[in-house]
Amino acid sequence: MSDVLGTTGLILNEPLLWEKGKPGRRGFSLPVRDVEVSPLDESLTSPGPDFPDLSEVDVVRHYTRLSTWNFGVDTGTYPLGSCTMKYNPKINDKQAALPGFSGAHPLLPQKLSQGLLRLMFELQRMLAEITGMDAVSLQPSAGAQGELTGMLLICAYHKSRGRKPSKILVPDTAHGTNPASAALCGYRPIPVSSNDKGILSVESVAEAMDEDTAGIMITNPNTLGLFEENLKGIVDLVHAKGGVVYGDGANMNAVLGIMDVGCTGLDVLHLNLHKTFSTPHGGGGPGSGPVCVKKHLEPFLPVPRVLEEEGKYVFSSDFPQSVGKLHAFYGNVGIMIRAYSYIRTMGAVNLKKASQLAVLNANYVKERLKATYHLPYDRPCMHECVFTDKNQSSAKVMTSDIAKRLMDYGFHPPTIYFPLVVNGAIMIEPTETESKDDLDRLIDALQAIAEEANNNPDLLHQAPIKCKRRRLDEVTAARKPILAG
Ligand SMILES: Cc1ncc(COP(=O)(O)O)c(C=O)c1O
């Protein structure tokens, strides 16, 4: 057993700065005055804002303590399935903060932005090479916006061929944003069930696919962390019926350098730069969901596009069939710079190794925990694995109790109750950046929690008990939220 049970959970309380202030405290000292006092004309001054008087140490401790109330990828293991909360090398943040990049205004003339335009152009090329697709738009600013872009492309493609299908197939193991993006584009999402192996069968797609169906949206690896082994057969079938295949490539960190998406016949794919290529997911911060397409969808890509013309890099909007603009200016450039830096510093060999480690780590966690937690699909997984609370339910311990107790052991909870196809899902994505030591600590903690479920279930019902905030009344919080004060 590792030292995980020794976690103290020590978190210091902290009042507001206004409550801490004491008249006369100072965070600075001025040299002794060597000139006569000359009072200001009081009719021209005001009392100024009501700021508290504070010393330097008051302020430093205040913000340092507040920072310890948060948990991030720099704090510890963050196994939030589907979100790929991996540690990212700081060099990539540093590159994005270089003054030439961070100070660049989007309205700068193109001839003064050649470096940034070149970076965007080369990033497009690198993503095309990584995915095996023909052309890329960096414009969408999230995975879900990439999906919406993909749907708009599919719609425009069908329209250009005189077709106006009304439906699109979405497997029950697709990411939850998929049906929403399809609906936003005017398509009716038709659910397709996965089989007893947790993947799609050609037969179930064949049953649902008809002439009024625009195509299918496939998340691969899917939200169970399983590889869609029948992909080729499904792609061929959908194409044969005039449909287009959309790939949700947000889980690309499982297959970098291993799967050539282009070869599988997918027509359009989005990536989540903020999962796979160096920016952490979450917090509502800026993201980037580039869309990669095969040649036949290229004319419809959003404008402006970044092109190279006679050795110069330019924005071009000269694409009459384009679906138009998806984002102010050109997308979230800071995330693109991090991704560019990540890809260049890793190189092809290490990108592949990162995916191999992501898969290895998930399978290690799966194998070591499957005797303790129920594993609904007991087969090799990709970058994440999904357990349930079935073994703990006789002690009336639920998935949410397990997840909340994990905070007492110093870990961010995993994703819970998702994917929806699994009752009481506990979805763990360890990511490639966790060492075996850290994985062992996480496994020890989950095993200790399972023992507590048997011996002291009440403890779990109260968890978390060492966190800054104890268990919230979630029903009241949802029904009567207090949003201020
Ligand atoms: C498989 C998959 N698709 C789509 C998304 C949506 O991405 P975003 O949150 O950037 O909109 C995610 C997010 O985690 C995802 O895991």
pLDDT in tens, 229-261: 999 999 999 999 999 999 999 999 999 999 999
Check pocket membership of 230 for ligand 1, CB cut-off 6 A.
Answer: no
**Secondary structure (3-state) at 367:** helix
| pLDDT given at position 175 | 93
Check pocket membership of 171 for ligand 1, CB cut-off 6 A.
Answer: no
Query: Which tops the pLDDT comparison, 3 or 321?
Result: 321
| pLDDT given at position 147 | 97
Ligand 1 atom 16, closest CA? 82
CA–CA separation, 46 and 231 (whole Å): 71
- SS3 labels along 75-91: CCCCCECCCCCCCCCHH
**Dihedral sign, CA of 342, 418, 234, 135?**
negative
| pLDDT given at position 42 | 80
| pLDDT given at position 387 | 98
Percent of the chain surpassing pLDDT 90 = 86
Check pocket membership of 384 for ligand 1, CB cut-off 6 A.
Answer: no
**Secondary structure (3-state) at 407:** helix
Confidence check: pLDDT of 283 > 70: no
Percent of the chain surpassing pLDDT 70 = 97
| pLDDT given at position 284 | 66
pLDDT classification of 4: cutoffs 50, 70, 90? low
Distance 289 CA to ligand 1 centre (A): 9
Lowest mean pLDDT among 82-86, 118-122, 338-342: 82-86
The strands making up 415-416's β-sheet, listed across from edge to edge, are: 385-387, 426-428, 415-416
Closest atom of ligand 1 to 219 CA is 1
Confidence check: pLDDT of 3 > 60: no
pLDDT in tens, 285-318: 789 999 999 999 999 999 999 999 999 999 999 9
Distance 272 CA to ligand 1 centre (A): 7
Provide the pairing of β-strand 305-309 with 213-219.
unpaired
Closest atom of ligand 1 to 223 CA is 1
Lowest mean pLDDT among 3-12, 62-71, 130-139, 235-244: 3-12
For the beta carbon of residue 97, count every other beta carbon within 10 angstroms: 12
Bridge partner list, 136? 292
pLDDT classification of 468: cutoffs 50, 70, 90? confident
Is the pTM value of this prediction over 0.85? yes
pLDDT classification of 29: cutoffs 50, 70, 90? confident
CA–CA separation, 180 and 189 (whole Å): 8
Distance 460 CA to ligand 1 centre (A): 30
**Secondary structure (3-state) at 203:** helix
Specify burial of residue 261 (Cβ count, 10 A radius: 0-12, 13-18, 19+). buried
Check pocket membership of 251 for ligand 1, CB cut-off 6 A.
Answer: yes
Confidence check: pLDDT of 389 > 90: yes
Distance 219 CA to ligand 1 centre (A): 10
Check pocket membership of 92 for ligand 1, CB cut-off 6 A.
Answer: no
pLDDT in tens, 312-366: 999 999 999 999 999 989 999 999 999 999 999 999 999 999 999 999 999 999 9
Confidence check: pLDDT of 482 > 70: yes
Confidence check: pLDDT of 11 > 70: no
Lowest mean pLDDT among 6-20, 343-357, 470-484: 6-20
Check pocket membership of 144 for ligand 1, CB cut-off 6 A.
Answer: yes
Query: Which residues, 6+ apart, have CB-to-CB distance to 363 below 8 Å?
Result: 380, 381, 385
| pLDDT given at position 473 | 87
Confidence check: pLDDT of 453 > 70: yes
